[in-house]
Amino acid sequence: MTVLEELRVWAREGFHITKLTEITGTNRSLYYYHNATDEPIEMVEKRGRPIPGYSKTQSGDIIPDEQIEEFLMEAIEGDGATYGVKNLTKLLEDEHDLQINHKKVARLCKRLGILLPQRLGNPKYPKRLVRNRIITAPNQLWQLDIKYGSIVGSRRFFFVACAIDVFDRSIVGYYRGPRCTAKDITGMLNEAIIRRQLQVIDDSNGHCIVIRTDNGPQFISNLFGEFCEKNNVFHERIPPRSPNYNAYIESFFSILERDLFRRYEFTYFEEAYYEIDEFMAFYNHRRYHGSLGRMSPVKFHEKYKDSGFPEEMALSL
């Protein structure tokens, strides 16, 4: 057995290759060259600190990478600015009080595909800005957003994506899970469209629903754009740092934070999911709304279907 073969055996046992090459007097680059050209061997366990999946603010609050990615997409797509990695790092420090390294920002940008060399050309699905709408019935405008919670005593997160009908305040669909991708959200929306019995309109100038979101990476993805095109959904996005355009879903998330997340400490994911399911059922079917005449969203929706409401019930959004 040659020295290089012996080094490979010791490497499989977990010994550090730098120390092994120093002891045997072997050139480290020679080892890696032959190791790359020989038959593949079992991968040695990766050393070094694992990627944590979060960053901290100056006050010590933990912000998951998914939320940081949304900050980045808001800066790139919302402002339409051509920012480099160092400018984005500075923006995260100034706007969101994050303690973050430019190398991590580069890694997140690469994962999102927003590094400058990769942003050439026009987007497949152009951005549509919000405009004022008069809402007179259910299923005319849904607002959609994502919120995250944490498991106590750990650094693990779960995500809740919700779509609210701004007319009857119903949560028409929601998703909760350890990650939140465009696939998860489109699946939730597809179920909501079926549940609300919305029809795809054949008229090229019509649409079955307007969905309003922020500039999160899930909402500007090709998958989300394809879903909207297939289902004739008109997707509009709010400007950055303007949550008032999504006031109804933001208001619901404040209720969710106050009445659920602050009242319970979740020790594992299944517990959090169970409590979220219970809260959604309570909110839709039993929680009174002053703006709905002290009715629950479901009761208000059913009353509208039975008798309708006068035009003064219309909302300007």
Return the pLDDT at 121: 55
Higher per-residue confidence, 236 vs 6? 236
Question: What is the percent of the chain where pLDDT is above 70?
Answer: 81
pLDDT at 194 over 60: yes
Return the pLDDT at 112: 85
Return the pLDDT at 213: 95
Alpha carbons 307 and 137: distance in angstroms, whole number:
12
pLDDT band at 93 (very low <50, low <70, confident <90, very high): very high
Higher per-residue confidence, 227 vs 311? 227
And the tokens for 275?
């409590």
Mean pLDDT over residues 211-234, rounded?
93
pLDDT at 196 over 60: yes
Return the pLDDT at 82: 65
What's the pLDDT tens digit per position in 103-118?
999 999 888 887 766 5
Helices 222-230 and 182-195 pack at an angle, to 10 degrees, of 20
Higher per-residue confidence, 182 vs 83? 182
What's the pLDDT tens digit per position in 263-286?
999 999 999 999 999 999 999 999
Alpha carbons 78 and 241: distance in angstroms, whole number:
9
Mean pLDDT over residues 222-251, rounded?
92
Return the pLDDT at 120: 47
Lowest average pLDDT, out of 142-156, 162-176, 191-205, goes to 191-205
pLDDT at 80 over 80: no
Cβ(248)–Cβ(238) below 8 Å: no
Mean pLDDT over residues 287-291, rounded?
91
Mean pLDDT over residues 88-92, rounded?
91
Higher per-residue confidence, 194 vs 203? 194
Structural domain spans, the chain = 3-37, 54-118, 134-316
Higher per-residue confidence, 313 vs 168? 168
What's the pLDDT tens digit per position in 36-61?
555 444 444 445 566 678 899 999 89
Lowest average pLDDT, out of 46-55, 122-131, 136-145, 147-156, goes to 46-55
CATH fit for domain 134-316, picks 1.10.3720.10, 3.30.420.10, 3.40.1190.20, 3.30.360.10: 3.30.420.10
pLDDT band at 200 (very low <50, low <70, confident <90, very high): low
| Average pLDDT value for the chain | 84
Mean pLDDT over residues 133-143, rounded?
92
What's the pLDDT tens digit per position in 5-29?
777 777 776 677 777 777 777 776 7
What's the pLDDT tens digit per position in 237-250?
998 888 899 999 99
